[in-house]
């Protein structure tokens, strides 16, 4: 077991965030300039993300790109906010060397709920993604059964579209087989 990295003694800007070294041991996000550190998700969580990403990629038919744990700039201000959703659906022509997206350039942000992130995903990220212009937000409950709650942007807030079980015909133009994810 390694120790948690040292947190900076000041609020970080987007440029300082970008300059941080890469690591695969910890998950980092930036919340109003504060570096937020969390352990990597458990295997079940990662497998669900992998299966969901594969279904989305297969069914996208070129309408969007699918990237796991991709940086999404929510607020580039002096005390920046950068989130790292479990999956980001981006523009179809997103170059491989793109390091991050501005929220309004995303098609959707997807979070898989886990015991340590429920409040963060349901309340804080829900409002942040809406305010920065992410058109769709999907919350995935691992279940069983796997459930997807779908939201769409209306101004700077989200409205509930549907809660899906079994089959999920999404507003982004794909239908997911949720039973195959569990």
> Burial letters for 138-175: b for 16+ Cβ neighbours within 10 Å, e otherwise?
bbbbbeeebbbbbbbbeeeebeeeeebeeebebebebe
What pLDDT band is residue 4 in, cutting at 50, 70 and 90? low
Whether residue 22 is contained in a domain is answered as no
Contact between 59 and 52 (Cβ < 8 Å): no
pLDDT at position 89 is: 97
CATH number of the domain residue 149 falls in: 3.90.1570.10
Whether residue 124 is contained in a domain is answered as yes
Whether residue 20 is contained in a domain is answered as no
Residue 3 has pLDDT above 70, yes or no: no
pLDDT digits (tens, 9 = 90+) for 101-136: 999 999 999 999 988 888 888 999 999 999 999 999
Q: Give residue 158's domain range.
A: 41-180
Q: Could you check whether the bond before residue 4 is cis, i.e. omega within 30 degrees of 0?
A: no
User: d(Cα 50, Cα 55) in Å, to the nearest integer?
Assistant: 9
Whether residue 2 is contained in a domain is answered as no
The phi-psi region of residue 32 (left if phi > 0; otherwise alpha if psi is between -120 and 50; otherwise beta) is: left
- Count how many domains the chain has: 1
Whether residue 61 is contained in a domain is answered as yes
pLDDT digits (tens, 9 = 90+) for 46-93: 899 999 999 999 999 999 999 999 999 999 998 999 999 999 999 999
Contact between 177 and 158 (Cβ < 8 Å): no
Contact between 175 and 169 (Cβ < 8 Å): yes
| Whole-structure pTM value | 0.92
User: d(Cα 55, Cα 140) in Å, to the nearest integer?
Assistant: 14
Whether residue 78 is contained in a domain is answered as yes
DSSP state of 123: I
pLDDT at position 59 is: 96
Whether residue 143 is contained in a domain is answered as yes
Whether residue 72 is contained in a domain is answered as yes
């Amino acid at each position: 077991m390694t120790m948690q990295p040292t947190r900076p003694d000041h609020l970080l800007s987007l440029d300082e965030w970008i300059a941080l070294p890469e690591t695969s041991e910890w998950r980092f996000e930036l919340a109003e300039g504060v570096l937020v550190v969390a352990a990597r998700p458990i295997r079940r969580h990662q497998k669900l993300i992998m299966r969901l990403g594969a279904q989305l990629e297969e069914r996208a038919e070129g309408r969007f790109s699918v990237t796991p744990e991709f940086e999404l700039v929510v607020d580039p201000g002096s005390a920046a906010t950068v989130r790292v959703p479990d999956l980001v659906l981006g523009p179809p022509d997103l170059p491989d060397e793109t390091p991050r997206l501005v929220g309004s350039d995303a098609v959707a942000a997807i979070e898989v709920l886990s015991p340590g992130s429920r409040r963060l995903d349901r309340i804080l990220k829900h409002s942040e993604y809406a305010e920065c212009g992410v058109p769709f937000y999907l919350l995935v409950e691992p279940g069983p059964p796997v459930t997807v709650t779908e939201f769409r942007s209306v101004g700077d807030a989200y409205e509930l579209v549907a809660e899906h079980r079994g089959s999920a015909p999404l507003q982004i133009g794909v239908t997911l087989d949720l039973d195959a994810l569990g």
